Amino acid sequence: MAEPLSFAARFAELARTRPDAPALTVGEVTVSCAELDRLGNAMARHLGSLGVQTEDFVTIGEPNSLAFIVAAVAAWKLGAIPQPVSHRLPAVELDAIVELAASAVVVGLPTPDRPWIPRGFVPPSDLDVGPLPDAIASAWKAPTSGGSTGRPKLILAGEPSVYDDSLRAVATMIGATEGGAMVMPGPLYHNGPFLWSSLDLLAGCHLILLERFDAEATLAAVALHRATSIYLVPTMMQRIWKLPQYVRDQYDLSTLKTAFHLGEPCPRWLKEAWLDWLGPDVLWELYAGTESQARTVISGHDWLTHPGSVGRAVKGSISIRDEAGDAVGPGVIGDVWMRPPDPMRPTYRYIGAEAVRMGEWECLGDVGWMDEDGYLYLADRRTDMIVIGGANIYPAEVEAAINAHPAVGSSAVIGLPDDQRGTRVHAIVQADPGSVDELVAFLSQRLVAYKIPRSFEFVDVALRDDAGKVRRSALRSERLTSPPSL
């Protein structure tokens, strides 16, 4: 067992033991472990001069950049809590989050009544870069989530900013190993990319951070840096797979030992394509909420014997229950409930929301079922489910069928009012695959008739962000307010 170290002490240790090893590459810039530690110390002193103290929130609204990472390291150096948000966040949403967090400083975004630091800020060269007194925060991160309500909430990690055997084990699981190299194409304001990147840096693994997701650039980064691991979501996987084969074949991915995908359901056709490409030893899948009450993991080999599953619980417990809260048997769809390994030690804390609880169990709104071997299969989120004539239609299943069309970039499926049926399935589709009749014919080979959308809307913008997230409730509200021309 390794000695637990504060995050601050761990970065200092890496600076001593691996001073010249690359810690982070963003674009054309690479900084070593020693350089990252010095930048973090300098930035910590600057934050301290603005009033940041232990347990304060530091809201970080930078794009993927050196500045983002340095701000997070600096917060940990002070025993403060990094609180990432999108750098595109509208002022109204930012103000609501900053008020919830009572942020001591906002980095990268202007705020009217808080100290803030301009985007891309570099600590002045005359600041002391030497060690600071050791400090530990009670929570090492506090990402935000709007969920289905659209109201922001903070999700404070249940673990302090201490790099211990528990976090080391997670780092090893995701392929963050000392001396390795990980490609991160996801936006750091989402929990998955932030968690992966943080553990990568703490493990002494070279983090190759893309400034934004680009399908070919992601492959190029793997090949250039001989990456040993990569973080993916199915939206990225789809865009990469839809590159021309001759483009994909240009890049050597043979150094990859671990490729994890998470964040949204992965269509079977896409999973099978990637398994054929990378192999079942490399491709893994994880399912968990930011709240981390429980976690499932599945290897490529296990997926081939349980196709469509997201795996069995490797942390905590999972139960499928009906609307009355009673457990249901194998093969029966119900709400996914989670229980942490030790209910007396919460894995998170909300600010701005209340958990959906039933005794020691909690529900995040996902719907799914289990097989007789205890493998979990997800259907969708309860709030997004469409009910027509007593039949449940899960948007994720319909979207997976639409996205399989070679001309489709992304899609979102919602329920809209219908004079005859009460509700109809409506599909918003990025790119025009020819004609509605052609798309319906394509879908008829993949979906039962009642699941095929009754109306289509074609757009020229991506419907999911780089983390694979789509807020269907917002899309529905927009169309109820201003119906599209169909």
pLDDT for 404-447, tens place per residue? 898 888 888 988 887 666 678 898 998 766 678 888 889 888 88
- Cβ–Cβ < 8 Å for 252, 223: yes
> CA-CA distances (angstroms) from residue 16 to 35, 387, 438?
11, 59, 62
Which residues have C-beta within 8 Å of that of residue 476, sequence separation ≥ 6? 414, 415, 416
pLDDT at position 2, please? 81
Per-residue confidence at 486, pLDDT binned at 50, 70, 90?
low
Higher per-residue pLDDT: 483 or 62: 62
- Cβ–Cβ < 8 Å for 163, 37: no
Of 158-172, 200-214, 229-243, 415-429, where does mean pLDDT reach its minimum? 415-429
Q: Which residues pair with 319 in a beta bridge?
A: 337
* Domain boundaries of the chain, sorted by first residue: 5-264, 283-382, 385-481
Third-level CATH fold of 5-264: Rossmann fold (3.40.50)
Q: Which CATH number fits the domain 283-382, given the four candidates 2.30.38.10, 1.10.1740.10, 3.30.1490.190, 2.40.30.30?
A: 2.30.38.10
- Cβ–Cβ < 8 Å for 405, 453: no
Instruction: Write the CATH number of the domain with boundaries 385-481.
Output: 3.30.300.30
- Name which of 240, 180, 230, 237 is nearest 209 in CA terms: 230
